[in-house]
Amino acid sequence: QVQLVQSGAEVKKAGSSVKVSCKTSGGTFSTTAINWVRQAPGQGLQWMGRIIPFLGIAEYAQNFQGRLTITADKSTTTAHMELSSLRSDDTAVYFCAREEEGYRFAYWGQGTLVTVSS
Amino acid sequence: QSALTQPPSVSGSPGQSVTISCTGTSSDVGSYNRVSWYQQPPGTAPKLMIYEVSNRPSGVPDRFSGSKSGNTASLTISGLQAADEADYYCTSYASSSTFVFGTGTKVTVL
């Protein structure tokens, strides 16, 4: 049974950074992409980026280039998402999602609320 | 990458059918049969309902179906039930290993 468990809620100051983790269990970690998706309060889903742990290469949405770093630790089967230079409009729930064959986000973490205060 | 365009809301009575459109461009929806649909009740993580345009994961009722024509994909819910009330999002693979989500549609069962 595949499970994705994310780290807890964070409150950050504008201008700082936040790092959210996504611990996976079940299935094969190294060769399966982990994606990050966020949802601002009352808004829709926004794709942020992905990483295939085996390759260690991340792809990012243009909106986040330069501020977003996605990494993966094969030894702990954990993916991390770090967003820097935080602004108030980065306040959102951040989800990790495991991408299965067919380019589908079949498994999701429970979400992590990041609140950015000025 | 601009978000795919969905209608903000659709509604129907129990037993009726509703269809949600998802319009992209020739760089995403039009180029790849890699469109998925997700259901998201309030306060929960999204759930995969359709992948690769028209495939249903195990456990998803066959009342849910997907299709695509040109740059527009569609999700149809037949035999609408109260439990179907939620937000629905499409997503498409785009170029360079990236994805783009739709703007989201709220389905209301009257």
Q: Is A24 in contact with A31 (CB distance < 8 Å)? A: no
Q: Which residues pair with A37 in a beta bridge?
A: A47, A95
Distance of alpha carbon A46 from alpha carbon A92, whole angstroms:
10
Shortest distance, CA B78 to any CA of chain A (angstroms) = 22
Nearest-by-CA chain B residue for A33: B97
Dihedral angle computed from the Cα positions of residues B33, B34, B40 and B46, in that order, rounded to the nearest 10 degrees: 160
Q: Which amino acid is at A80?
A: H
Torsion over CA: A42, A48, A54, A56 (sign) = negative
pLDDT of residue A33: 94
Q: Which amino acid is at B39?
A: Q
Average pLDDT over residues B80-89: 97
Average pLDDT over residues B81-109: 95
pLDDT of residue B107: 98
Residue A29: pLDDT band by 50, 70, 90 thresholds?
confident
Average pLDDT over residues A6-33: 94
Distances (CA, A) of A43 to A35, A66, A102, B31: 19, 23, 26, 27
Nearest-by-CA chain B residue for A61: B98
Tens digits of per-residue pLDDT, B15-68? Answer: 999 999 999 999 999 999 999 999 999 999 999 999 999 999 999 999 999 999
pLDDT of residue B15: 97
* Residue A69 near chain B (CB below 8 Å): no
Shortest distance, CA B30 to any CA of chain A (angstroms) = 16
* Partner-chain contact B45 A46, CB within 8 Å: no
pLDDT at B1 over 80: no
Distance of alpha carbon B88 from alpha carbon B33, whole angstroms:
19
* Partner-chain contact A44 B103, CB within 8 Å: yes
Residue B73: pLDDT band by 50, 70, 90 thresholds?
very high
pLDDT at A27 over 90: no
Among A105, A107, A112, the strongest candidate for a mutation testing the B interface, having the largest count of B CBs within 10 A, is A105
Element (H, E) at A99: strand A92-100
Residue B110: pLDDT band by 50, 70, 90 thresholds?
very high
Average pLDDT over residues B92-98: 89
Largest CA distance in chain B: 42
pLDDT at A31 over 80: yes
Average pLDDT over residues B84-101: 94
Shortest distance, CA B76 to any CA of chain A (angstroms) = 18
Distances (CA, A) of A11 to A6, A86, B26, B69: 15, 11, 40, 44
Q: Which amino acid is at B101?
A: F
Q: What is the Cα Rg of chain A in Å?
A: 13
- Taking contacts as CB-CB distances below 8 angstroms, the residues of chain A near B52 are 102-104
DSSP B33: S
Give which of B33, B71, B102, B74 is closest to A102, Cα–Cα: B33
The tokens of A48 are what?
A: 């942020």
pLDDT of residue B97: 86
Tens digits of per-residue pLDDT, A84-107? Answer: 999 999 999 999 999 998 899 999
DSSP-assigned letters across all residues of B23-73: E--TTTTTT-S-EEEEEE-TTS--EEEEBTTTB--TTS-TTEEEEEETTEE
pLDDT of residue B39: 98
The tokens of A12 are what?
A: 């950050």
Average pLDDT over residues B4-13: 98
Q: Is A9 in contact with A114 (CB distance < 8 Å)? A: yes
